[in-house]
Amino acid sequence: MAGRLRLDDETFERMFRRIYSTFGSAAPYVVFPDAQRFLRWLRKEGLVVGIVSNAEHRYRDVVLPALGLNQASLPPALPPLIHPSLHGRADDEH
């Protein structure tokens, strides 16, 4: 097939690990300059702030804190609403 890249297992594994580690870090993401100020304002106004995502736990545990967007970076409020989706994961099938 034209345009189809064929990789041996070792090359595929190396590429996969590189992509997985890149997107599991803060490197490919950008936080708008006023994001934290806006989130603090929302909380000050009494609004519940949460994140809904289908990303895995590394996003909550690694990426958000690295970007300065986690519970510790914002004023105290309700318990955290940041929770990875646990439904539909491949490892749920036994």
At 77-86, the pLDDT tens digits run 555 555 555 5
Are 55 and 87 a contacting pair, CB within 8 Å?
no
Which residue has 């490197």 as its token pair? Answer: 27
Calpha distance 82→80 (Å, rounded): 5
Whether 62 has a pLDDT exceeding 60, the answer reads yes
* Total-model pTM: 0.55
